[in-house]
Structure 1
Amino acid sequence: MKTKSNPSLYALLIWNVLLTAYLVYTHVYTDNTTVTERLDIVSKDQIPLLSLSNADLFPDPIIDGKTHKRAVSPSGMVFFNEDGNEVGGMAFSTRDSTSLNAFVLDYSNADAIGMLVHEDKGSGSHRAAIQINDKGETPGAGTHRISLQNENGTAGLFIMDRKGQVVVELSVDSLGKPKLLLPQITQ
């Protein structure tokens, strides 16, 4: 008995083979990578909330709705509040042989607290620190007040006055020599 060929069955068979091959391929070779130079997350009103960027497209800081010039052009991430003002971020920058990596949370107009790693491969100089600043009156004018750091082998706690001058120091240098600096207390 001779059977009659059915073109629809062949088309269905080919479709099933192609679909199975595609599903096997996507299961075995998963690539969930998205490549871009900058990614901005915005609110439904198009207010920036988060920006991930390379150094070329890193956004300038926005304070009270005004854009200011950034001192460096790092790559990293910037956080914005619901008004679109910068409130912190992570930055990674390199200039010549020097690298600076930082995680910062901001007051409304300046850096408030930050963790940073600074390294100069040319000179061998290095520093890792947690810094706390006073809030300044103008954008970027906060005063450095407290630092817990290790700089070139000297580990210490440094407390500064409102002008940024060290008034209390508890440290140990790279040779193990301790230092305690306290202000003279007068009555």
Structure 2
Amino acid sequence: MKVKSNPLLYILLGWNVLLTAFLAYTYVYPDKTTATERLDIVDKNNSPLLSISNADHFPDPIIDGKTHKRAVSPSGMVFFNEDGNEVGGMAFSKRDSASLNAFVFDYSNADAIGMLVQEDSGTGAHRAAIQINDKGKKLGEGAHRISLQNENGTAGLFIMDRKGNIVIELSVDSLGKPNLLLPQATR
């Protein structure tokens, strides 16, 4: 009795051998990393929720469905709300000898609260801060109101009016000299 050969069986057998070899290889040599220039997490409607990116592919901010130009091109991560608007993120950037690393949560139209670290390897200047901003009426208009920071060895709490003028300063400089500033309220 002669058996007919079936080309489909040979194809399936070949794929089976290749799949088994691939699975054996990944078991023996597991790859623990994945490399990409940008990773976007989206919802079921393909709206962005999270983007992790290098500086070349970092997304521009989206506010009320409109894309705006970003002032810098950092690497990092951006968070989006259910409407697709940017609501915060982590950014890491460097220009010449100065670097800025920040973790920020946003109002609907501007930065709300942020933690940042700035260093300049050329000058030695450095700052670490937590900043709280007021929400403005227009895009990017929020006023800087509270800063808890250490800048070049001076640690302090700074409270500003809506124009950004310091109205209360409680600080200690790098030599240990305290400073309390309570200017007369100007109205």
Matches within 5 A, 1:49-128: 49-128=49-128
Aligned position for 2:13: none
Give 1:151 shift: 0.2
Aligned to 1:168, the other structure's residue is in SS state strand
Aligned position for 2:6: none
For structure 1, the residue ranges without an aligned partner over 5 or more in a row are 1-14
Is 1:143 the equivalent of 2:164?
A: no
Aligned to 2:35, the other structure's residue is in SS state coil
Aligned to 1:137, the other structure's residue is in SS state coil
Aligned-residue sequence identity (percent) comes to: 80
Q: How far apart, CA to CA, are the structure 1 residues paired with 2:109 and 2:40?
A: 22
Is 1:32 the equivalent of 2:32?
A: yes
Q: How far apart, CA to CA, are the structure 2 residues paired with 1:21 and 1:124?
A: 52
AA of the residue aligned to 2:70 = R
Provide Cα deviations, 1:16-69, integer angstroms capped at 9, x if missing partner.
Answer: 9x959964x534432131111001111111111100000011000001111111
AA of the residue aligned to 2:181 = L
Give 1:74 shift: 0.1
For structure 2, the residue ranges without an aligned partner over 5 or more in a row are 1-15
**What is the count of residue pairs matched by the alignment?**
171
Aligned to 1:26, the other structure's residue is in SS state helix
Aligned position for 1:168: 168
Q: How far apart, CA to CA, are the structure 1 residues paired with 2:133 and 2:116?
A: 14
Aligned position for 1:133: 133
Distance change in 2, residues 1:20/1:68 (3 Å): closer
Q: How far apart, CA to CA, are the structure 2 residues paired with 1:65 and 1:49?
A: 14
Aligned position for 2:8: none
User: RMSD of the alignment, in Å?
Assistant: 2.2
Displacement over 2 Å in runs of 4+: 18-23, 25-29, 183-186
